[in-house]
Structure 1
Amino acid sequence: MESLKFHRILLKLSGEALSGDSGNGIDPHRARDIALRVKEVREMGVDVAIVIGAGNLWRGRVGLELGMDRATADYMGMLATVMNALALMDSLEGLGVWTRVQSAIEMRSVAEPYIRRRAIRHLEKGRVVIFGGGTGNPYFSTDTAAALRAMEIGADVLIKATKVDGVYDCDPKKNPNAVKFDELTYIETLNRRLEVMDSTAISLCMENKLPIMVLNLWDNSALRKALTGEPVGTLVHP
């Protein structure tokens, strides 16, 4: 068995990770691709918790531009994250990976209410836990929810899974001369206003010394390399 650097992780996924080429909706094939990657990590003996966004189903800023109340728009986004969580749970269990969805907004018919000690117990029993409903409060992003849940469950690292292989000083798709960072401190990330996570999430990780790793989810070897300590992506740490 490979030597592990991290034994418990919080995987932060964007809602778009579940969508097809259109960037909208839920593509069962994409959900299965993610589930296969999570299954591989679980089989390495790593405890896996997941927070997923809602951008494939609902973007609150669109509602705000049309005059919608901010709290209402945020609650709609939280509900959409539960839909994504259920889709990912179905794909995982289809592969034989026992999974539990916990929601910060109570909806007992489809998900467990979020209870920290129960979530930890699920992880100890080898189950993947997907946290839906954000923090349960408006005005907080799923980035912040991911940082908060990572701290609560005692994760060793918060892994931000994206479509690029790390953090750059500018958009590498627009600028071929963009420079990739192998490591960053929290302060550098905040001062440079790099689009790693929102400032609240980064500050929360900084205060609790939780490392953030940004990597390409669609690189078949990236997650495995990250967990065994091989150089991959960008590491944000003290």
Structure 2
Amino acid sequence: MIDESPTSPDPVDVVLPCLNEAAALPWVLSRIPRHWRAIVVDNGSTDRSAETARAHGAHVVSEPRRGFGAACHAGLAAATADVVCFCDCDASLDPALLPALVALLTTSTADLVLGRRRPTAFRAWPPHARLANARLARLVRRRTGLPLRDLGPMRAARRTGLLTLDLTDRRSGYPLQMVVRAADAGWRVLETDVPYHPRTGRSKVTGTWRGTWHAVRDMRRVLDERPTPVTAHDGGEAQ
């Protein structure tokens, strides 16, 4: 992992895993709240994603190990703020909505806040991906007891709490492992609706049956793991 900018004292860091998203980045970065820091994790892009991110004021981290989880965790490792948010950078989710998630984190009893995707158009969420997500959500409810309906990528939590979860998945199972280990640690997980728009460009995961199958395989592997002892932690308390 290559960290290309100095530490930031900003109150919230937003991790944006990135693979060939140069077309979407200008809009996405323009939607990051003022005084928050955008951490764009370039996961081996062959377009000008890294250059575009820098030109729009983002802190760029290079993660050569391919995988959604590898990019997310590199961003978490680079974060310094008390609160860390995660969001896709393909323009399917609006980062301007993140303050509402952070408000729930800091003013309610939640330790982890998840954005439940609500499609704004049919093509925003391909049927095969939606069905796979619904099936996984049922399995997550059975495994954790949490009343979740989505495993969406928009989320907010305390940085120190996330680090205690000792997340190890570096592929598509990373978001699910975060939820499962948070549940095992007794975290209070809250879900709130967020609009889900058609993405800019072609999806590397849910846009194809093969990509969706690989994601489901990774997530089933996480669900098959034996519960990992995690030190109880109140994710809502700054450490």
TM-score tier after normalising by the smaller chain length: 0.3 to 0.5
TM-score by length of 1: 0.36
Q: When the two structures are superposed, what TM-score results if normalisation uses the length of structure 2?
A: 0.36
